[in-house]
Amino acid sequence: MNIGIVCYPTFGGSGVVATELGKALALKGHQVHFITYQQPVKLDIFTENIYFHEVKVSNYPLFDYQPYELVLTSKLVDVIKFEKLDLLHVHYAIPHASAAYMAQKILAEEGIKIPFITTLHGTDITLVGKDSSFEPVITFSINKSDAVTAVSESLKQDTFDHFDINRDIEVIPNFVCLDEYQYNGSIEALKKSFAPNGEKILVHISNFRKVKRTEDVIRIFDIIRKQLPVKLLMVGDGPERHHLEELCRELGTCDLVKFIGKVKDTERVLAVSDLFILPSETESFGLAALEAMAARTPVISTNTGGIPEVNKNGVSGYLSNIGNIEEMAFNSLKILSNEKTLEQFKEAAYQQAKKFDIHSILPMYEALYERVIKTI
C-alpha cells in the first residue's frame, strides 16, 4: 500500500506511535509518506520505503498566526495526487483530521478518491477537545473520517462522552517495538555513573506539563529516599521543569535527582532503571509506562484513563488514586526493598509489555487499511 501519515513530529507520544508505525509498515514493504512540518524525531529518512514531505509555514507579515491547517491541506492534496497515495492516516484529531477532510473534498472535485483514518491519542479528546471552541470541528471531523481508532477503551469512552459521535470507533492499542528495549550494551558503566553506590534508580519520562503531575514524582521520591538509598532520573523537558528544580532545592534532594533533558534513545535510560513513576492527572494510554515495562521496569502510576489497561495492579506495578503520593511511595518501597520482589515485578512487567508488541498490533492496522481502501 501507498500510505500517507500525518503527525506531530515532536517527542509527544502520538508522534512516536505514528513514526514507529510508519517504520514498521515500511519494513513490511509498504510505501510510507510522512507529511508534517519537521522531520519526526525518531525517523531516519534514509530508510527504504520511507519518504518525508515537509509542510512549510511561511512567515507572511499580515498573519499574526500562521494558518498551518491550510498549508497542511495544500500539501496533502499535492502529495496524495503526485505520490498516488491509497490512504491517509492522521494521528491526533486537531488539526489533522479536518485538514484531511478538506483535502479529500478538494481532490473529489478532480475525481480522485482518498480515504482517511483518524487515530485519537488522548489530549486531542481529553484536554484540547473539551475546550468548547474546538468541539464542532472535532465532532465533525471524527464523524466524517472513513475510520476512527482510539488507543484505549478508556479514550473511546471519553470520546463518546464528550462529543456527539454517530459512528463506530475501533480500539487499536498503542504498541512497543519490544526488541528495541532489550538493551545489549553494557549497563554497568551507565548504572555506576548515575548510582555509584548501588542505589536503586527511579525514572520519570514526560514533557513536564501540568497534566503529568511531575511535582508528585519529586514528592514521592522525597518520601522513598528517606528510607532507601535511591536516585531519580527526570527525563524530558517542559513548562514545569524550573519549578521542579526549585522544589528539589527546597527539599534538599538536588544531589539525588538528575534532570537529563530530552533523550532520543530512552531505551538506554530504562535499561538501568528499577522503577518508573507516572502520577498523571489523565493519560489515555501511557505509552511511557509501556516502554518502561518493555525494558523490564515496573511502574508506579495513577489509575486514571487508559493506564489500567496497560499497568496491572500488583503484577507489573501498582496503581493509586490521583495525588495519593503516600500510597505511591509505600508501593514503591514494597517493590524496591526486596530483591526477589523487584525481580518478580520486573519479569511481570516485561510479560505484560509483550502483549503490546508491534508484531501483534501492526496486523490490526493493516487489516483496517485494507478494509477502508475497499469501501471508498
> Is the Cβ of residue 207 or residue 214 nearer to ligand GMT in the bound state?
207
Q: How far apart are CA 35 and CA 4, in angstroms?
A: 7
Contact 42, 14 (CB under 8 A): no
Is 17 near ligand GMT (CB under 6 A)? yes
Mark the segment that binds ligand GMT (CB under 6 A) among 11-19, 105-113, 183-191, 354-362: 11-19
Q: How many residues lie near ligand GMT (CB under 6 A)?
A: 21
Mark the segment that binds ligand GMT (CB under 6 A) among 59-67, 129-137, 206-214, 269-277: 206-214
Output the smallest distance, CB 107 to ligand GMT, in A.
Answer: 27
Residues in region 95-154 near ligand GMT by CB under 6 A: 121-123, 126, 151
> Could you tell me the three cell numbers for 209?
506539563
Among 27, 106, 190, 211, binds ligand GMT (CB under 6 A): 211
Residue type, 279: P
Is 173 near ligand GMT (CB under 6 A)? no
Among 4, 9, 13, 298, binds ligand GMT (CB under 6 A): 13
User: What is the per-residue binding string for ligand GMT in 41-80, x denoting contact by CB under 6 A?
Assistant: ----------------------------------------
Q: How far apart are CA 101 and CA 98, in angstroms?
A: 5
Output the smallest distance, CB 352 to ligand GMT, in A.
Answer: 15
Residue whose C-alpha is closest to residue 292's, from 279, 311, 313 = 311
Residues in region 303-362 near ligand GMT by CB under 6 A: none
Among 34, 92, 181, 356, binds ligand GMT (CB under 6 A): 92
Q: How far apart are CA 177 and CA 185, in angstroms?
A: 17
The β-bridge relationship of strands 230-235 and 257-261 is: parallel
Output the smallest distance, CB 152 to ligand GMT, in A.
Answer: 8
> Could you tell me the three cell numbers for 156?
473511546
> Could you tell me the three cell numbers for 303?
489509575
- Asked whether the bond before 95 is cis by omega within 30 degrees of 0, the reply is yes
Is 94 near ligand GMT (CB under 6 A)? no
> Is the Cβ of residue 31 or residue 304 nearer to ligand GMT in the bound state?
304
> Is the Cβ of residue 195 or residue 278 nearer to ligand GMT in the bound state?
278
- Of all helices (H) and strands (E), which one includes residue 366? helix 358-375
> Is the Cβ of residue 12 or residue 298 nearer to ligand GMT in the bound state?
12
Q: Hey, what long-range contacts does 15-19 have (CB within 8 A, 24 or more apart)?
A: 15/40, 15/41, 15/42, 15/91, 16/41, 16/42, 16/287, 17/91, 17/119, 17/121, 17/151, 17/174, 17/175, 17/287, 18/89, 18/91, 18/119, 19/43
Is 283 near ligand GMT (CB under 6 A)? yes
Mark the segment that binds ligand GMT (CB under 6 A) among 14-22, 57-65, 142-150, 251-259: 14-22
Among 118, 139, 174, 316, binds ligand GMT (CB under 6 A): 174
> Is the Cβ of residue 97 or residue 230 nearer to ligand GMT in the bound state?
97
Among 145, 282, 301, 311, binds ligand GMT (CB under 6 A): 282
The β-bridge relationship of strands 257-261 and 170-171 is: unpaired
Q: How far is CA 97 from the centre of its chain?
A: 18
Give CA separation, 242 vs 12, 212, 214, in Å. 20, 15, 11
Residue whose C-alpha is closest to residue 16's, from 210, 236, 202, 240 = 236
> Is the Cβ of residue 86 or residue 309 nearer to ligand GMT in the bound state?
309
Binding-site ranges for ligand GMT (CB under 6 A): 12-15, 17, 92, 121-123, 126, 151, 174, 206-207, 211, 282-287
